[in-house]
Structure 1
């Protein structure tokens, strides 16, 4: 039976981040980074199949899961997530960690490893190959959208039950098994008047003021020097266009991608296979 996780509070320059840790004395140290509007429990099913000897740290990004929200009227930006990773890596007390990132978490892991190469030993990307990107002229469109979003009040939708919240998750991810959706909903909602609401800050739905264009992202991702692996779902995001091929080529230390049956949340659909891939990729020490 896997050992239990302990809850930690990590300070990210004054913001309290929620982190769950298993086996604080273990090695290697592996930090898990979840996707947009998800939370650390999205990796629970994978963790059940990972070695007890590993030190696991599962982060809730700021404004998601059980981590603190920014003050009202503040805005989230992509670089904030790098601050969160930096805070967790420093809190481990080890020189370097292995990163596992799903979707948004994979984008953050790649950017962090490029900026902090000495702190990252390896990266496992799950359904993640970079931001939307596009040509440089998209920057103006993005800025306009950012200002437009400021005029819209964040809407925190209510659901009559956890089951109804889980059903909403499956609308966006039809391949997500019912038990996995319920797991995400149980750990990702809280009681409110008239039912439950997801714990993420609805301000996360606003567009970023700044985003990397294709050329900038290629420059960042090509700077990653640690070993990398990419795990894809057969029914997940499509990475077979010209942009994706350029991004794959830029990742110099990337192994041939592994495709498993499933969708964008393939780690929830195939947790044992994903754990096996991690076990074969991450060395048993460091």
Structure 2
């Protein structure tokens, strides 16, 4: 293994029961009466520790909380054979009831987490002071006609559930992280690997429930998403990397024009593009992202 990244700010691990499920949170800094906590929510197949590099780059001391979503990191699995998007909103609502019951928070989410915070901010607008969406593009609108095929695929996959292969060493986990994102430095990959995987008798297993890889039988309906987005009252910052992720992921099935039309319904929107960054922009340019966050959060 190469040299391992040394954090500038050490997090504290805590476990909370949210909606009857054991959740893991990482906490940096101390609560303050003068400013709200900054709550960070990771993306699909990621963990809350993924934000360590950005937290280290923040110039101002403040309370920061990162959640491991259910079935990721050190949080418990759902106990079911599938995961449902509304549960993430429910878990976030329960977390904020514990973290800041009497005052709005600053809320930021990456990728899947970005989609969760956007919907949540429209459903609970009074809970959010400032909102940040990091590459949470959402997905293409799905026609109701696709429901029978989608449900059939899900039923078939339930009969042969997916699995995640173990890795022989943490170095192999770090190599996988760098293969996913070549911009990730070796020392940061070595540090993340220790949070991304746990040693088992079979090797190092990723801290993720394989059930997350099942086909989602719930259709993604743009109209429902927009109904939430247009109710957002918090000033909102959209941040993306300079690499075109829509073209990479969707190959024309979800166009930039479609996404721009969605963003247009958000009432108070600022934008930022981080150069030399891809989808994992919090790994690629943590210092630049931290500076932009502090400028926006004030």
Secondary structure of residue in 2 paired with 1:67: coil
CA-atom RMSD in angstroms: 2.0
Deviation at 1:122, TM superposition (A): 1.6
| Candidates 291, 295, 298, aligned match of 1:276 | 291
Please point out which of 83, 89, 102 is paired with 2:96. Answer: 89
Secondary structure, aligned partner of 1:24: coil
| Aligned-pair CA distance for 1:24 | 3.1
Relative to structure 1, is the Cα distance of residues 242 and 43 closer, same or farther in structure 2, using a 3 angstrom cutoff? Answer: same
* Cα distance in 1, alignment partners of residues 152 and 230 from structure 2: 29
CA distance change for structure 1 residues 242 and 118 in 2, over 3 Å: closer, same or farther?
same
**Residues 172-211 of structure 1 mapped to structure 2, 5 A cutoff:** 172-211=180-219
Aligned counterpart, 1:252: 267
Q: TM-score, normalised by structure 2?
A: 0.88
**CA, structure 1 residues 136+170, in 2 after alignment: closer, same or farther (shift >3 Å)?**
farther
Please tell me whether residue 24 in structure 1 is matched to residue 30 in structure 2.
Answer: yes
| SS of aligned partner of 2:90 | helix
Equivalenced residues, count? 282
Q: Distance in 2 between matches of 1:5 and 1:170?
A: 23
Secondary structure, counterpart of 2:246 in structure 1: coil
* 1:263 equivalenced with 2:278 (yes/no): yes
Deviation at 1:63, TM superposition (A): 0.5
**Aligned with 1:7 (options 13, 19, 22):** 13
Following the alignment from structure 2 to structure 1, what is the Cα–Cα distance between the partners of residues 24 and 57?
23
Please list every run of at least 4 consecutive aligned residues from structure 1 whose deviation after the TM superposition is greater than 4 angstroms.
Answer: none
The 5 Å alignment of 1:54-203 reads 54-71=62-79, 73-93=80-100, 94-203=102-211
- The Cα of 1:134 is off from its aligned counterpart by 3.1
Contact map agreement 1:158 1:194 (CA 8 A) in 2? yes
126-135 vs 73-82, which moves further: 126-135
Give the CA deviation at 1:3.
4.4
Is the contact between residue 34 and residue 40 of structure 1 (CA under 8 Å) also seen in structure 2? yes
Q: Deviations over 1:30-79 (max 9, x none)?
A: 100001010011100000022453110010000100101122x4321111
* TM-score normalized by the length of structure 1: 0.91
- Structure 1: which 5+ runs fail to align? none
Distance 2:221 2:245 in 1: 19
Q: CA deviation at 1:208?
A: 2.1
Q: Is the 1:129–1:247 contact (alpha carbons within 8 Å) kept by the matching residues of 2?
A: no
Name stretches of at least 5 consecutive residues in structure 2 with no aligned partner.
1-6, 248-254
Counterparts in 2 of 1:227 and 1:18: CA distance versus 1, 3 Å: same
1:228 aligns with 2:270: no
Take 1:78 and 1:254, find their aligned partners in 2: how far apart are those partners?
24
